[in-house]
Structure 1
Amino acid sequence: MVILHVLFYIFVVVTFVQLFFYGYVFSSVKQKRRTASPQQTFPVSVLICAKNEAKNLTAFLPSILDQEYPNFEVVLINDSSTDATLQVMEQFKVNHSNIKIVNVKNIEAFWGNKKYALTLGIKAATHNRLLFTDADCQPVSRQWISEMSSHFTREHQLILGYGAYAKVKKSVLNKLIRFETFMTAVQYFSYTKLGNPYMGVGRNMAYTKELFFEARGFMDHMNIKSGDDDLFVNQIGDSRNTTICLSKNSFTESIAKETYSEWIVQKRRHITTAKNYKTKHKSALGMFFVSQFLFFAIGLILISTGFFWQIVLGLIVARYLALFINLSLASKKLNEKDLIPYFPLLEIFLIVTQFSIFIKNLLSKQNRWK
């Protein structure tokens, strides 16, 4: 009985922690609508770093080149590819004068390091405003450059966008991957709106060349193969220089992994990178995950024993009410409304997956990048 009392009080605490996140923190995925006044356009350099991406470049690069924007160049970075990536780039360049190719060859000091390749691409870019995406991504509209670049101001030099995954009907894995991507975005958008940016995704991000060099580029974490997006934001982002773009025309979309094992390899790398975040960010993210895990674990014990079941049930209802209200609002903004009915199941699946990845990462290291 004493143990149940202790578990009950722990459950109360973790539920209030969850209510803080779902009821307050995650209610910040919003953005004021801009007026329809004419916007000044600035020249923009779009950067795409590709390693063995000949097929994806052929499929998705046309959607970049077809953007409705008056002045932009596309910097294609061939990161030591062993397939026909460079040839595909050169074929596109024949018909598009705004393409610039940076052919990166491996050197011993930075063998297989994407950050080294990106640095060379950034140095080669003509314009100060840089917009990044991946070779396997495509904008969902022809206004992608316009929408993302419109958020640049004298103060805002780092813009965080949404990189979605294409929907696949009747695929549980696709829904799980999209839910994880959605929840990650809800968190980094919310923290940014609250003045504490901690990450972004390279599938859809913009910053200035000036900001990059002020931060000494990726030098503070060049030894870590991944993290050219999230570690850079974690290093340089703050309440003054960082903002978000939630316009649906600003989203990018890519194809999600088709097997669970492939996705797990990808997520292991991402989670491994997160250990290099600032302590305050690791603490906040850890608190959210631990409170999630304890909420389900202790809640199940208390419900099964019937201990103070009325109070426990009330807390569960309150927590799910906050979750559905704010995640539903966020899902509408991020065009993920089809996930709403599956929130409870997807959340449990994701917690189990993240816990298993955490255990695997304790037992072995992941140093790969695609």
Structure 2
Amino acid sequence: MLFIILLIISFYFIFNLLLIAVWREMKQRHKVFSSEKDTKLTVIIPVRNEERNILRLLQDLNQQNYPVENFEVIIANDGSTDNTENIVLEYQEQAKYSLKILNLLNDASTSPKKRAIQKSIEISSGELLITTDGDCSVSANWLSSIQQLYKSKHAKLISSPVTFTEKRSLWNTIQIIEFASLIGSGACAMYLKKPNMCNGANLAYTREVFEEVNGFSGNENVASGDDEFLMHKIAKKYPEKVFFNPDFDAIVRTESQVDLAHFYQQRRRWASKWKHYDNWQVSALAVFIFLANLSVLMAYCMLDDYFGKGILLLKFSAEFFFLYSVIKFLGYKSKVIYIPIVQIIYPFYVVFFGLLAQGKGYSWKGRRLE
């Protein structure tokens, strides 16, 4: 058993060294050639009860360094019961860009977010479709960054970075660091043309490829996965045309979870997708990460000997430097000192939600979903 633990952690150490090397190469080789901002863009924002956040995003979009005649914004109002709709309607007079609201009935859809995006696409006119969430904020160069990469690489799908809005709390910091590991590893996998994850809060794909792969067809009954299942379908058909955008201006900042209960439901929602993947490589990687963190928990029980301490040092060292690189890129260098705290907690988190993914159902935005 000790040999197996050491072997798994050794592979995990090498895995993180690879991530460090790939991240650096990706950043160094990222080049985008300046071109006309003439692509017609459609920004799709599915929302449900976002009265506290939606105005900030609408204002951010009003400050974009992109021709207002070349982008439209569609708010897919998914049965909101608060003041979201009125806020959007009132802002239409101030918006420099075309701002539309699509009201959807609060029905019993098994995948409300996919439905919201699909219905929005049906009334959109953009060549490049960009999705984000109602609780997000974006920089003035957000659309330009995505469009310039699209033009330079003739991309079919672009995944751009997402992080959490900074707040003065340890809970927020822990979430920023934990989420950075997902964004960073997903970016590296995409650079290696082995994409395994992305985030619908900052995703772009062409209308043409969406229709070509039949959109969300095949996973309509899975509530989550409007982003990753679509990415896998596009990557399977166009493996060389799926890109991560390592540009600071492309970062989307979203709200972290306010407490442990909301965090639990969010992560359960994300974990619910794992068993539906039909790509064995993605599933194998998920199992490997689970086993690596399970091995760390076993090593915690051996802290009284040098073997256990050595295993933990091996696991944490390369992992720390990878997280450092990603967090620095996201603009949170001051939070590096908190990485060891997250590293200690993280194995418990991975094992817990890895086992939880085998269950069914979660609550999200006032709905019970499967």
Give the TM-score of the pair, scaled to structure 1.
0.88
Aligned to 2:333: 337
Q: CA deviation at 1:101?
A: 2.0
User: Aligned pair count?
Assistant: 357
Aligned to 1:67: 64
For 1:34-183, what aligned pairs fall within 5 Å after superposition? 38-41=34-37, 42-70=39-67, 71-96=70-95, 98-106=97-105, 110=109, 113-139=112-138, 141-153=139-151, 155-169=154-168, 171-183=169-181
* Bigger Rg over Cα: 1
Contact 1:78/1:101 (<8 A) preserved: no
Amino acid paired to 1:284: L
Q: CA deviation at 1:78?
A: 1.6
SS of 1:24's partner is: helix
Q: CA deviation at 1:359?
A: 4.1
- Taking a change above 3 Å as real, the CA distance of residues 68 and 110 of structure 1, as seen in their structure-2 partners, is same
Aligned to 2:16: 22
Amino acid paired to 1:127: G
- Taking a change above 3 Å as real, the CA distance of residues 97 and 111 of structure 1, as seen in their structure-2 partners, is farther
Q: Distance in 1 between matches of 2:186 and 2:309?
A: 30
Aligned to 1:354: 350
1:28-85 CA-to-partner distances (Å, cap 9, x unmatched) read: 2233456685322222111111112233212321011211101221122222222222
| Residue ranges of structure 1 left out of the alignment (5+ in a row) | 1-5
Contact 1:155/1:240 (<8 A) preserved: no
- Taking a change above 3 Å as real, the CA distance of residues 317 and 66 of structure 1, as seen in their structure-2 partners, is same
Q: Distance in 1 between matches of 2:273 and 2:311?
A: 34
- Taking a change above 3 Å as real, the CA distance of residues 220 and 104 of structure 1, as seen in their structure-2 partners, is farther
Contact 1:155/1:241 (<8 A) preserved: yes
Amino acid paired to 2:149: H
- Taking a change above 3 Å as real, the CA distance of residues 293 and 45 of structure 1, as seen in their structure-2 partners, is same
SS of 1:78's partner is: strand
Q: CA deviation at 1:129?
A: 0.7
Q: Distance in 1 between matches of 2:211 and 2:162?
A: 25
Contact 2:22/2:188 (<8 A) preserved: yes
- Taking a change above 3 Å as real, the CA distance of residues 60 and 38 of structure 1, as seen in their structure-2 partners, is closer
Give the TM-score of the pair, scaled to structure 2.
0.88
Out of 186, 189, 193, the residue aligned to residue 188 of structure 1 is 186
Contact 2:45/2:75 (<8 A) preserved: yes
SS of 2:114's partner is: helix
- Taking a change above 3 Å as real, the CA distance of residues 301 and 225 of structure 1, as seen in their structure-2 partners, is closer
SS of 2:272's partner is: helix
Contact 2:166/2:172 (<8 A) preserved: yes
Cα RMSD (Å) of the superposition? 2.4
1:288-313 CA-to-partner distances (Å, cap 9, x unmatched) read: 2211220x233334442x3xx3x665
Aligned to 2:241: 241
Q: Percent identity?
A: 21
Out of 12, 16, 40, the residue aligned to residue 6 of structure 2 is 12
Out of 228, 231, 244, the residue aligned to residue 230 of structure 1 is 228
1:106-149 CA-to-partner distances (Å, cap 9, x unmatched) read: 3867367221111111122211111111111010x210111112
SS of 1:149's partner is: helix
